[in-house]
Amino acid sequence: MPLITRQFGPNPKGSILSFQDMDNNLIYLEELTKLDLIPLTDNVYSLGTSASRWKSISVGPGTINITDQTLLTDASLTVDNGVLQINGANQLQVGQLKFVDNTIESTTGAIDIQIGLTGSTASLQLNRNVVIAPGKTFTFGDGTTQSSAAIQQYTPTSSADSFGVTGSLVRDDENIYVRTNGYGWRVIPFNNSYGSFYDTTNQANTPASTARAINISSTATASGVSIVSGNRITVDHDGIYNIQFSLQLIKTSNNNGDADIWLRYNGVDVPNSNSIVTLIDGSKGSSKTITAWNFVQAMTASSYCQIYWSAADTGLTIYAVGTQSTPTRPATPSMIVTVDKISSLTQI
């Protein structure tokens, strides 16, 4: 097949290049402007063969266009400002790895996609949020999997400890749980909830024989526990809580008198939580006592407990004393409450 050059313009001209025009296997095209090298027939001729290949192809600023074999649309390959661009194609396949729009996938769902070498020591740094699709899991190097952030499970490095007991280790966002066969779960809190609260007001028993919540107006220190509406001990996390309290009772009226003290959870009396305190006759001076004990209560996040009391005698009061001197002593609150989260086993 002869090689024909054609100069475009109002009067196209063409000439055949013979072998005599070639010098040292090079074809020089000189003194020609607006020159394109075009085959006589569309989509028929090839540039080289598998056995006779061109060594190098150098292309200046411009575009390489390739026609899609199925869609018959053009895809263009360009380089601009250091960026290699493929326009007109929405997929790029390299081996078994495919780039489809904003997705990286393998040619089949059964092929793993690996980032980094097995022996790599550097980290993979992501500057975006990571979302795990529903039903998908993380698989760790020891073969364990994780499908939810609510609780993470790990397999011990050996099948038994030094005592020959097998078990497992589990954690959530607040505690570590250790379970050994035959011994059940043990809790190691590492993000505990706690609170220390008090009240410095006198709390009268008027009218008598009325169930009323004991006020707790002030916070000394707290994390994950707070006082809401003046008397609701409210927690931020599920768990089992130890609620300890002490209060000062004074009786200024005649005869002995009883006071009932109990726990309510979310507005409902906790069964078997009541205790009765008896103060002796206060007619010859005030009768005083300090009452203290604790409750252990399972609570869910945002739930609350209240400490209630009632007495038939209006002469009973929960009372406070200010700072005192000789010697100097701190104030005595009418009510002191401390709260500690002792377990998160309600989550398992």
Apex 202 CA angle, 198 and 203, nearest 5: 90
In which element (H, E) is residue 291 found? strand 287-299
Architecture of the structural domain at 194-347: Sandwich (2.60)
Tokens of 29: 């095209």
Task: Please determine, for residue 99, whether its predicted confidence score (pLDDT) is greater than 90.
Answer: no
pLDDT in tens, 197-238: 999 999 999 999 999 999 999 999 999 999 999 999 999 988
39-57 pLDDT, tens digit each: 778 888 887 888 888 888 8
Joined tokens for residue 246: 């002490």
Task: Name which residue leads in pLDDT, 90 or 166.
Answer: 90
pLDDT digits (tens, 9 = 90+) for 265-307: 999 999 999 999 998 876 666 788 999 999 999 999 999 999 9
- 317 Cβ contact list (under 8 Å, min separation 6): 202, 203, 204, 205, 249, 250, 251, 252
The model's pTM: 0.50
Question: Where does CATH 2.60.120.40 sit in the chain?
Answer: 194-347
- Do the Cβ atoms of 196 and 222 come closer than 8 Å? yes
Question: Which range has the worst mean pLDDT, 24-28, 170-174, 210-214?
Answer: 24-28
- Across the range 116-144, mean pLDDT stands at 82
